[in-house]
Amino acid sequence: MIRRAFTMKLKPGAMAEYKRHHDEIWAELVAEVRRSGIATITTFEADPVLFLFSEITDEGAWNRLWTSDVHRRWGEVMEPLMHFKDGVVDAGELREIFRLDTGLGKKGGKKKGARKAAKAAKKVAKAVKKAVKEAARKLPAKPAKKAPAKKKAAAPKAPAKKPAKKAGKGK
């Protein structure tokens, strides 16, 4: 994203009305801002000076917005509140001279990459599981094999009988 900043100036006593209009911004204007290639707009004030910071997709984004029909109508509402020049708000563009990004404010910080990787791994695992199920469904059906019959255990044999002793002679 390209960062752009401007200063603008309100007419005396216009701050409350300017803020009210922005608190109730038109949905069609928001859509036009987006279509023009403007991702974010943040405005700060030190009445009567406004400081606007924006992130845009390309150098022509603001010109596309300022020349759109919906912004022309918005300008008609803003003109009594702000200084205009040639039908467009009189904005002084600021040059960026310093920027420091420690990464601290980024959502998730360092953990974001790990979460992204874990999410991707889960997605891959789910896709693999689905593919395996689909492949299994396409395999020809095989008759189920019968389990081998269990062999019956042989009945235990009775112990062999010892032959009876013959009675002795003459005792």
Predicted local confidence at residue 28, as pLDDT: 98
Catalytic residue list contains 22: yes
Domain boundaries, the chain: 2-94
Two structure tokens written together for 112: 């974001």
For 60-105, the pLDDT digits (tens) are 999 999 999 999 999 999 999 999 888 788 999 999 999 999 999 8
CATH class of domain segment(s) 2-94? alpha beta
Check whether 7 has a pLDDT greater than 70: yes
- Angle, nearest 10°, between helix axes 15-23 and 69-78? 150
Q: For residue range 32-58, what is the model confidence (pLDDT) as tens digits?
A: 999 999 999 999 999 999 999 999 999
Residue from 21, 22, 71, 83 carrying the catalytic annotation: 22
Amino acid letter, residue 134: E
